[in-house]
Structure 1
Amino acid sequence: MCGFAVKVVSMQRLWRAIRWLGGTSWPLYTAAVLGTNLLAAVGVIAFLEFLLPLSVIDPDIIPLQVSGTVLGVGVAYIVVAAIISIVTSFALFRPVLDWQRHPDRHDPNMVRNLVMRIPFYQTVLTSLVWVVGIAIITGFATRGSSTLAITVGVTTSLGGAMAAMVTYLEAERLVRPVAALVLARRFEDSTLEPPVTYRLRSTWLLTSAAPIGGVLLLVWAHYTQFFPASLAQLLPAIVVLCLTSLVLGFIGTTLVVMSVVDPITELQRAIYRVRRGETDVAVDIYDGAELGVLQAGFNEMMRGLQERQRVRDIFGRYVGMEVARRALEERPELGGEDREVAVIFVDVIGSTTFAVTHEPEEVVVELNKFFEHVVAVVHRNKGIINKFQGDAALAVFGAPITLSDAAGHALKAARELRQELQHMRLQAGIGVAAGHVVAGHIGGHDRFEYTVIGDAVNTAARLTEIAKGTPGRVITNASTLAKANEAEQARWTLMKSVELRGRNMMTQIARPIRPTLADRS
C-alpha cells in the first residue's frame, strides 16, 4: 500500500513537472532545433539518393545497392542521434530548468554563464552528432569507391555545417526569455557569445556561401573528371544548391538580423519613452556580446537618471524646486546678485502657547497641515519657499526666477493665504514687502544655502508683527502696493501710517478689502 502511494506521488510530481515544462519556451526550442537537424539530414540523404548521379562514379559497382546501404545507415543513425541529442541536451541544460523552478537553490553566476552559452553548447553538440554521422556514412561509402566516399563526405559535411549554423541562430533566438530572466539580476561586461561581426560573417559563410561552394565543387569535379557526369546530369543538383543558397541564406540572414536589430529596436522604443518624460524605463538584457553591453548600459543610465530625479525631488523639497533645478544645472558659487523681489513672511500666532498645551506630535501635525497650505498657495503664484524658521516661513517672488510682476504675485498669494488659513487651528500674521535684495548662495564652501538678504525681508517681518493684531491679519506697505498691477491694487485699501520696529520713519500700510461675491465665486 505504501509503495502504491509512493508511485502515485511520484506520478503527480512528474505530471506537474511536465505541465510546468509545457508552459515554458523549451518545447518550442526542442522542436525547432531537432526539426532543423532532421530536415537537414533528410535533405542531405535525398540529395545523395535522387539528385547526384552516383551511378557514374564506378560502372563496376551496383550504385543503387551502395547508395541504398548508405541510405539505410543514414536513416538508422538519424533516429539514434535524435534520441541521444535530446537526452544529452536535457542533461546539459537541466541546471537551467531547475533554476527556473527554484531560483534560490542554485548559484546565479553558474546559471548565468550556462544560459548565455546555450547557443554555443547546442551548436557544439549538434556538430559532434553530425561529425559522428558523417564518419559512419562515409565509412560505409568507402565500400563502393573512394570517389563515392569523398562525394558523400563533402555533401554531408556541407549539410552539417549549414544545419549547425541555423541551429545556433535558432537557439540564440529562442533562449532570449530565459537569458532576460537570468541577466535581469546581474550583468557583467564579459563576452559570453561570439561578437556580432563574427556572427554575421559566419552566417553568410555557412548559409549562403556553402551551397554556392557546393555548386563550384560540382563544376570543378565535372571538368577534372573527378565526378564523371555530364552537365545535364548535374543540373538538378546545381539548381537545388542554388535554391538552397537563396532559401537558407534568407532564413539565416533573417535570424541574424533579428539578433542584431531586435535589441536596437527595443532600445529605440525605450529612448522614445524617456523622451516622453517616462523615467521608469528598462530593457531586457539577453545578449552576451556588444549588444548586451548596450542594453546593460542603457539600464545603468536609467538608474542614474532615476537616482538624479530622486535626489532632485528630495533636494527640491528642502530648498524649493526652482533652486534645486538651478543648482543641478549650474555650478553654485558663493555670492549674490541684486534682484527686485517681493517677500511674504508668515508667522504663526500663539505657537509657544500651543506647543506648551499640546503633545509634540500633535504640534508637528498641525504645523505640517498649516505649512501645506502655505506651500501650495506660494507655488501656485510662482513663488518659492525660501526657508522655514520654526513656526514661520519666508516666501520669495522674483528669485531665482525673474517675474515681471513679483509684487502682484506676492499680494495675490497673501490674499489667498488669508482665505485658506482662516479655518485652520493655527492662525498667522502675514506681511508682504517688495524691494531690492541680494539673492544668492550664502555660507561656506562646504555648506551654503540660497537665500535673500535686504530691507524687503526685514520690512515683511516687521509688517507681520503688525498683521497679528489687525483684522484679516494680512498687511503690506504702500510702496509694495504701488509696484503691483492695477487689478491687484484695486483689491487693497490704504490705512494709517505706523512706525515699524527699528525704523525712524513712518510707513503707510494697507490691507485687503473684504472679498466680493465675484472673488468668493
Structure 2
Amino acid sequence: MMAKRTTAQRLGRLLERVTQQSGRLSETPAYGSWLLGRPSESQARRRVRIQLISTVFIVAANVIGIGVATLLLTVAFPEPSVFSDAPLWISFIAVPVYCVVALALGTAWITQRTIGALRWAIEEREPTPDNERSVFQAPFWLAFGVLVLWAVGAGLLTTLYGMANSTFIPIVGFSVSICGILVSTASYLFTEFALRPVAAQALEAGNVPRRLAPGIMGRTLTVWFLGSGVPVLGIAITALFVLALGNLSLTQFAVAVLVIATAALIFGFVLMWILAWLTATPVRVVRAALKRAEDGDLRGDLVVFDGTELGELQRGFNSMVDGLRERERVRDLFGRHVGREVAAAAERDMPQLGGEERHVAVVFIDVIGSTQLVTSRPAAEVVQLLNRFFAVIVEEVDRHHGLVNKFEGDAVLAVFGAPNHLDRPEDQALGAARAIARRLDSEVPECKAGVGVTAGKAVAGNVGAKERFEYTVIGEPVNEAARLCELAKNESSRLLASADTVNAASDDEQAHWSLGDTVTLRGHDQPTQLATPV
C-alpha cells in the first residue's frame, strides 16, 4: 500500500506543478469539460451534442472573423473606401449575400460531412482503421473547408473590388485572407475539442492517431504561427502597402497598425487560450485521478481522449493503475495464503531459506471426531461447516496479532511472536485461545474442537527449496501444543495450557486461569503441569 501511495504521490506532485497555473477542479469530467457529456451517454444524444457544439463554435468564429475583416477594410484601410470608391451593390449586396450563403450552407455542409465521417461511432459499429483515422483527420478537413470558403470569398471580393479600383486588390485580398486563416485555426481547435468523445472511442480501438500538427510541440507552433505569426506578418505587409501605394497618411497608417495589432492580440490570445485549455484539461483529468489513486481508489480507468503525448500520459496512468490493481490482487492472494505478516515481511525483505530462534507462543486447534463429521454429512455441508469453524479462528488470531501458520485438514496451527515481534506473546495466545473456545461453543456448536496453548523457544523461518518454500515454526512448543490439544478434547472446557505459559503471562491474563494436574505428555520425558480457564 505504501509503494502504491508513494508512486501516486510523486506523479501527483509532478502534475500539480505542471498545472498549478490552470486552476483546480474539485471533480474533473471524464472528457475534461461538462459540455462533452458523460462516457455513458447514448450515441444519439452524443451526436446532437457534437453537432450543436461544432455548429455554434464555428458560426461564432466566422461571425467574429467577418467583423474583423469589415473593421480592417473600413477603418484600417480607409483609402480607397469600399463605400465611395466602389459600386454600392458590391458592399451592400454581393458581400452580405456571399457571407450569409457561405455561413449558412457552408457550415451546414461541413458539419454534416464531419458527422457523416463519424457515422460508425453514432451507429455503435466497430470502427475500421480508416474510420479511426477519420476521427483525427476530421478537425483538419473541417478547418480546410472553412479556409476554402474564405479563400473563395477573398478571390471573389478581390476580383469585384479590383474591377472598380486596382488598389483594392492587395488590400481586400490581405484583409479577407488573414481573417480566414485565423478563423480556420480556431475551427480546428474547436472541432478537436468537440470530437473528444469520438476520439476516445477510436483510441480505445487501438488506432495510432495521425494529426496535422505532430504532437504538443507541433500543435503549439502551428497555432502560434497561424494565430500570432501571420498577424505580425500582416502588419509588415501593411507597411509595405503604404510604402508602395502611398495612399495613407501617417495618421491613417498609425490607425491601421493599431487596428491590426489589436485584432492580432485578441485573436492570438483567444487561440492560445484555447490551445492551453486543450493541453491542460487532459493533465487535470490525470491529476484528479492520481488524487483518487493516492487515496486508495483504484477502481476506474481514465478515458483516453487525446491523441498527442497527453493521450500517452492518460494511457500510461491506466497502465499504472492496472499494475497497482494487479499488485494489490496478488498481495491480497499472497496474504490469504501465507498470512498478512509473512506477506508484509516478504515484500519488505527478500525472503531467503533459513530461520532464527524466536520466543513464541503456539495455539493448536483440532476438531473432535473429524472422521464421523466427514462421513455423516454431505461434502458441501462439511466444507461450509469447516469454513465457519476456521473463520472464527482466523478472526481471533488476527485480532490478537498472531499468525495462522497452517491449516492441516481440520486442524489449525497459530503462532504468536513470529514473524512479528510481541513483547509478551503468552498474553496474546492465551487470550486468543479463550476467545476461540468461547466463540466455537456458541457460534459453531456442531463442530467441537480441542485447543492447546504453550510457549517457548522455536525455530521460525523459511523452510523448503529455493524454488518452493514456506514460512513455518518448528520446535518443542509446536509439539507440546498438539499434545495439549489431544488432552483438551476430553476436558469439559476443551482448552488446556501449560502452567509455564500461564505463569509467563501478565497478572491480568493469569487471573483467567487456574493451575491443575501434572501429566507427562506423549513423547515427553519431563512432566507438564496443566492449566484450565476459570
- The interval holding the TM-score normalised by the smaller chain is 0.7 to 0.9
SS of aligned partner of 2:519: strand
In the alignment, which of 253, 257, 280 is matched to residue 261 of structure 1? Answer: 280
Q: Closer, same or farther in 2 for the Cα pair 1:22/1:358, shift >3 Å?
A: closer
Structure-2 residue corresponding to 1:44: 69
Give the Cα–Cα distance (whole angstroms) in 2 for the partners of residues 181 and 190 of structure 1. Answer: 12
Structure-2 residue corresponding to 1:200: 220
Q: Is 1:332 matched up with 2:332? A: no
SS of aligned partner of 1:25: helix
Bigger shift: residues 65-74 or 475-484: 65-74
Q: Is the 8 A contact 1:332 1:441 kept in 2?
A: yes
Give the Cα–Cα distance (whole angstroms) in 1 for the partners of residues 67 and 368 of structure 2. Answer: 94
Q: Compute the TM-score of the two structures, normalised by the length of structure 2.
A: 0.85
Q: Is 1:351 matched up with 2:370? A: yes
Could you list the per-position Cα deviations for residues 302-326 of structure 1 after superposition, in whole angstroms to 9, with x for gaps in the alignment?
0111111112112222222222233
In the alignment, which of 77, 93, 115 is matched to residue 115 of structure 2? Answer: 93
SS of aligned partner of 1:54: coil
Q: CA deviation at 1:108?
A: 5.5
Q: CA deviation at 1:27?
A: 0.7
SS of aligned partner of 1:437: strand
Structure-1 residue corresponding to 2:32: none
Q: Is 1:165 matched up with 2:190? A: no
SS of aligned partner of 1:400: coil
SS of aligned partner of 2:245: coil
SS of aligned partner of 2:335: helix
Q: Is 1:232 matched up with 2:257? A: no
In the alignment, which of 467, 479, 488 is matched to residue 467 of structure 1? Answer: 488
Q: Is 1:24 matched up with 2:49? A: yes
Could you list the per-position Cα deviations for residues 210-240 of structure 1 after superposition, in whole angstroms to 9, with x for gaps in the alignment?
3333333323432x24342112223433332
Q: CA deviation at 1:442?
A: 1.7
SS of aligned partner of 2:264: helix
In the alignment, which of 410, 414, 417 is matched to residue 429 of structure 2? Answer: 410
Q: Is 1:150 matched up with 2:163? A: no
Q: CA deviation at 1:405?
A: 2.0
Q: Is the 8 A contact 2:80 2:167 kept in 1?
A: no
Matches within 5 A, 1:506-517: 506-513=527-534
Give the aligned CA root-mean-square deviation in angstroms: 2.5
Q: Closer, same or farther in 2 for the Cα pair 1:45/1:91, shift >3 Å?
A: same
Q: Is the 8 A contact 2:133 2:207 kept in 1?
A: no
Q: Is 1:495 matched up with 2:520? A: no
Letter in 2 for 1:391: D
Q: Closer, same or farther in 2 for the Cα pair 1:451/1:173, shift >3 Å?
A: same
Give the Cα–Cα distance (whole angstroms) in 2 for the partners of residues 21 and 291 of structure 1. Answer: 23
Q: Is the 8 A contact 2:485 2:495 kept in 1?
A: yes
Q: Is the 8 A contact 1:267 1:283 kept in 2?
A: yes
Give the Cα–Cα distance (whole angstroms) in 2 for the partners of residues 508 and 76 of structure 1. Answer: 111
Q: Closer, same or farther in 2 for the Cα pair 1:56/1:137, shift >3 Å?
A: closer
Bigger shift: residues 33-42 or 254-263: 33-42
Give the Cα–Cα distance (whole angstroms) in 2 for the partners of residues 434 and 265 of structure 1. Answer: 57
Letter in 1 for 2:168: L
Q: Closer, same or farther in 2 for the Cα pair 1:310/1:188, shift >3 Å?
A: farther
Q: Closer, same or farther in 2 for the Cα pair 1:191/1:299, shift >3 Å?
A: farther
Q: Is 1:34 matched up with 2:59? A: yes
Letter in 2 for 1:511: T
Structure-2 residue corresponding to 1:439: 460
Could you list the per-position Cα deviations for residues 87-139 of structure 1 after superposition, in whole angstroms to 9, with x for gaps in the alignment?
24313432424523x31x33264443322333222222222222232233233
Q: Is the 8 A contact 2:136 2:209 kept in 1?
A: no
Letter in 2 for 1:311: V
Structure-1 residue corresponding to 2:328: 309
Matches within 5 A, 1:237-248: 237-248=256-267
Give the Cα–Cα distance (whole angstroms) in 2 for the partners of residues 71 and 196 of structure 1. Answer: 43
Give the Cα–Cα distance (whole angstroms) in 1 for the partners of residues 184 and 152 of structure 2. Answer: 14
Q: CA deviation at 1:375?
A: 0.8
Q: Is the 8 A contact 1:56 1:228 kept in 2?
A: no
**Count of residues in Structure 1 that have an aligned counterpart in Structure 2:** 489
Give the Cα–Cα distance (whole angstroms) in 1 for the partners of residues 81 and 436 of structure 2. Answer: 105
Give the Cα–Cα distance (whole angstroms) in 2 for the partners of residues 414 and 187 of structure 1. Answer: 57
Could you list the per-position Cα deviations for residues 28-47 of structure 1 after superposition, in whole angstroms to 9, with x for gaps in the alignment?
22111122123313431342
Give the Cα–Cα distance (whole angstroms) in 2 for the partners of residues 369 and 108 of structure 1. Answer: 54
Q: CA deviation at 1:268?
A: 1.5
Q: Is 1:427 matched up with 2:448? A: yes
Give the Cα–Cα distance (whole angstroms) in 2 for the partners of residues 368 and 108 of structure 1. Answer: 51
Q: Closer, same or farther in 2 for the Cα pair 1:359/1:92, shift >3 Å?
A: same
Aligned-residue sequence identity (percent) comes to 35
